[in-house]
Amino acid sequence: MSSSALSYVHPTTDSPWGTYLAQVDRVVPYLGKLDRWVETLKRPKRSLIVDVPIEMDDGSIAHFEGYRVQHNLSRGPGKGGVRFHPDVTLEEVMALSAWMTVKCAAVNLPYGGAKGGIRVDPKKLSRTELEKVTRRYTSEIGLIIGPHSDIPAPDVNTNGQIMAWMMDTYSMNVGATATGVVTGKPIHLGGSLGRVKATGRGVFVTGREAARRLGLKLEGARVAVQGFGNVGSVAAELFAQAGAKVVAVQDHTGTLVNDKGFDVAALISHSQSQGGIAGFHSGEQVGNDEFWNVHCDVLIPAALEGQLTAERARKLSARLVLEGANGPTVPEADDILAERGVLVVPDVICNAGGVTVSYFEWVQDFSSFFWSEEEIYQRLDRIMVGALDNIWEKSTQHGITLRTATFAVACERILIAREERGLYP
């Protein structure tokens, strides 16, 4: 048995899968008679581990391990990204697929949850090698993906080009162009306008609504952003446009602090051209641990999971945490933040803008009729605001955190679907 499989059998409480299981346990008291189905949420429907062999540019043969997990398909086909990262494990992908199940149900999309990944450092591959890895992986998981069964999308270290290769590979293998097999594609291959900025926009929209309910004015509010990729940078840009000051930013190249607030547009331009925020002309570079000590009103963790630990939660100054990343807050930190009166808008609603516009893309591909960017954002904002309103009502009704309320709303929808479909045979 692989180490990844062992992690599945014995998850630790601070692992991604352990965090997810703890979140499910907390929601059981609010499921009523549906709690008889709760084990459905704790067991992925299907986990696929594949070998991804390719011939490298130097003629050698390299093997990479790939995964695709379908956590739950009760509400529709699986939906979830593919990440290329040297630390990807089966357990991580399982947790991410489970969070996708909850996320899709939270915003009431007709999807189940899935996720994929390859344990590889794409920065060490040439473009040719990257294409080979992508195409071979797509062929290997082609057994379970498809426009009506499981629809991959971009995630960490993957993008529109990766999706184009995945779509082309799947299409060649089935003998027909299948644009709906992935989302996040280039526009001219059936991609949707608004998709690139959708996740960051969702973070901003839910943050704006939460701040309004807290009585926190965005004008002059101090914002700290961890992770300055597609999600963090877009959220930072929108908050700056709303009058907030982005006073701290952290990415894989370091941490910058500017008490007067950054010129976010200039910082984004620098980051894109230089591969990170390091070396930006404005702000002071400090140690990475100092990021958590910066005085701020709003914190946006938009990097990887498990970043907001109990120790960091105890000293955090923010009144509002917006989870742009998946699983950035460990359960113990959640409790500490709740005790301190810090409002956390959880990942499964906060960063659901991406999957929502992915749904729009999927629908547009089937109809071959495409919407304007203005229509996309109007529909996105309406869905995100409506979902948060519903979750806020559940939170107020039961006196529970937004995370538990989100899980309560989502898990009820998932388990009702499971119960009504019944068990086959």
Written as tens digits, the pLDDT of the chain (425 aa) is 344 444 444 565 568 899 899 999 999 999 999 999 999 999 999 999 999 999 999 999 999 999 999 999 999 999 999 999 999 999 999 999 999 999 999 999 999 999 999 999 999 999 999 999 999 999 999 999 999 999 999 998 999 999 999 999 999 999 999 999 999 999 999 999 999 899 999 999 999 999 999 999 999 999 999 999 989 999 999 999 999 999 999 999 999 999 999 999 999 999 999 999 999 999 999 999 999 999 999 999 999 888 999 999 999 999 999 999 988 999 899 999 999 999 999 999 999 999 999 999 999 999 999 999 999 999 999 999 999 999 999 999 999 999 999 999 999 999 999 999 999 99
User: Which neighbouring-strand residues pair with 153?
Assistant: 81
Report pLDDT for 11.
61
Measured CA distances, 157 to 196, 230, 342, 414 (Å):
14, 11, 31, 30
223, two tokens: 């914002």
Report pLDDT for 283.
92
Report pLDDT for 1.
35
Determine whether 103 is an active site residue. no
- Element counts in the chain: helices (H) and strands (E): 15, 12
**In the chain, domain spans:** 3-175, 198-350
Q: Which residue in this structure is represented by tokens 């500490």?
A: 336
Report pLDDT for 415.
98
1 by Cβ neighbours in 10 Å (0-12 / 13-18 / 19+) ranks as: exposed
Domains 3-175 and 198-350 share a fold: yes
Question: pTM of the prediction?
Answer: 0.92
Q: Note the residue count of the chain.
A: 425
Residue tagged active-site, from 42, 79, 103, 115: 115
Containing H/E element for 75?
A: none
Using only C-alpha atoms, the chain has a radius of gyration, in whole angstroms, of 21
Q: Which residue in this structure is represented by tokens 């894989």?
A: 252
Helix (H, G, I), strand (E, B) or coil at 213: helix
Among 259, 276, 326, residue whose Cα is nearest residue 96: 326
Report pLDDT for 156.
87
How many beta carbons lie within 10 A of that of residue 385, not counting itself? Answer: 14
Angstrom distance (rounded) from CA 255 to CA 330:
22
State the CATH architecture for 198-350.
Answer: 3-Layer(aba) Sandwich (3.40)
3-175: CATH topology is Rossmann fold (3.40.50)
How many beta carbons lie within 10 A of that of residue 321, not counting itself? Answer: 26
Angstrom distance (rounded) from CA 235 to CA 384:
15
